[in-house]
Each structure stands twice: as C-alpha cells, then as structure tokens.
Amino acid sequence: MTDLSKLAVAVVCSSNMNRSMEAHNFLAKKGFNVRSYGTGERVKLPGMAFDKPNVYEFGTKYEDIYRDLESKDKEFYTQNGLLHMLDRNRRIKKCPERFQDTKEQFDIIVTVEERVYDLVVLHMESMESVDNRPVHVLNVDVVDNAEDALMGAFVITDMINLMAKSTDLDNDIDELIQEFEERRKRVILHSVLFY
C-alpha cells in the first residue's frame, strides 16, 4: 500500500484527550487517514484534587473544556499541561468522540491499553457483521502522561508505517507484528474482527 490515505486507522484511548490525540496528530502529519476516539462513559481529566476529576460528556468541544479549566485555575492547569494538551487537541478536531458511537469502518484500530482494547473488542463483537470486512485491532501499551504519549505516538506511527507498506495486510499482519515486537521489544495484542 503506497497511498497512506487509503489505510483507514483509528487510535483509541479512554477519554480521547492525551494518548489517542498525540498519535492522531503524528499519523495525520504523516498523511494517514486517521480518526481518534475514547471508550469511557465520559471524558475525565485530572482536577485540583485527586478525587475530584473534571468530567465532561463526549462531544463537549475541546475549546469549551479549555475555557472551563482556564476559568477554574489557569496557572494550575497550565503547569500540569492540560491547557497545552487541549490547545493541541482543538487544532486537530472539534471534540472528543466515543468509539462506541461511531459508524465509521477502519482497516486498523490501535488501542493504548489492555482495558481499552477489551472494550473495543467487546463492542466490535456485539455488532452484527454486515460487510464481513476485516478490521485488525492492535494494542500498544502507552502510559497516560504527556511524555509517554509522545513516545507512544512515535511507536504507533512506526507500527502503522510498517503495516502501510504491505500489499496484503490481512495475509502479512502476523509477520509484521512479530517483526515490530522484536524490533521495539514490545508485546502487541491482536484480534481480527469483522464489520
């Protein structure tokens, strides 16, 4: 596959804020047809106290979340990096989206933690197969902080670049995953599901 825009990729984390958006940003800049999502019930961001997160509905604009946190305590949310992250996000797309609500179909879905992977697989298995079109769900563990999200975006982009070179992804994917695991010293979970 030489035309990167033909490979439909989704990156999924819990709240569609940090890890999925950093990878979305990287993949989009490389020319991939990419979307990003979260699997949680709501979008949760750290608050001023550990037990008091900021909670928003999926579909709340990044701009509105930015303004809300800025009005609560601009200095605090600047120092902890949330305003910077939201500024990046609002330049990429309008709002966080929930994976379970999308009707879009993808060739590859990348999740960033096993719990999110399980939710994506569970959701896909609960859907009635219509087109019998395969989708590869892959998990690359990424810790949920700014530094690891950046490193994770490099790793995910590297993996998707490798997959994009295949002319028969469904046939080649097991070998590509093995090559990637050996090179990056990572374990990749993989399921093949169908739309």
pLDDT digits (tens, 9 = 90+) for 22-79: 999 999 999 999 999 999 999 999 999 999 999 999 999 999 999 999 999 999 999 9
Res 4: pLDDT: 66
In this structure, what CATH number is given to the domain that contains residue 173?
3.40.50.2300
Q: What is the mean pLDDT of residues 93-117?
A: 98
Which residue range(s) make up the domain with 151? Answer: 9-40+98-194
Q: Answer yes or no: do 132 and 177 share one domain.
A: yes
Q: Answer yes or no: do 79 and 150 share one domain.
A: no
Task: Give the strand order in the sheet containing 189-194.
Answer: 33-38, 8-13, 108-111, 134-139, 189-194
Residue that terminates a domain, selected from 92, 117, 132: 92
| Residue 68 covered by a domain | yes
Catalogue the long-range contacts made by 47-53 (C-beta closer than 8 Å, 24 or more residues apart): 48/72, 48/73, 48/76
| Residue 1 covered by a domain | no
Q: Answer yes or no: do 162 and 179 share one domain.
A: yes
User: What percent of the chain has pLDDT above 70?
Assistant: 98
Q: Answer yes or no: do 16 and 82 share one domain.
A: no
Q: Answer yes or no: do 67 and 112 share one domain.
A: no
Res 56: pLDDT: 98
pLDDT in tens, 117-131: 999 999 999 998 889
Q: Answer yes or no: do 49 and 132 share one domain.
A: no
The pLDDT mean for the chain works out to 96
| Residue 53 covered by a domain | yes
Q: Answer yes or no: do 119 and 136 share one domain.
A: yes
> CA–CA separation, 98 vs 140, rounded Å?
19
| Residue 2 covered by a domain | no
Residue that terminates a domain, selected from 50, 77, 92: 92
> CA–CA separation, 169 vs 146, rounded Å?
31
- Residues with Cβ within 8 Å of 167's Cβ and at least 6 positions away in sequence, in order, are 1
Q: Which of 148, 109, 112, 141 has the alpha carbon at shortest distance from 125?
A: 109
| Residue 16 covered by a domain | yes
Neighbours of 150 (CB within 10 A): 16
Q: Answer yes or no: do 136 and 108 share one domain.
A: yes
> CA–CA separation, 18 vs 44, rounded Å?
11
pTM for the model stands at 0.95
Q: Answer yes or no: do 80 and 156 share one domain.
A: no
> CA–CA separation, 120 vs 124, rounded Å?
6
Q: Answer yes or no: do 49 and 24 share one domain.
A: no
- Residues with Cβ within 8 Å of 102's Cβ and at least 6 positions away in sequence, in order, are 10, 35, 37
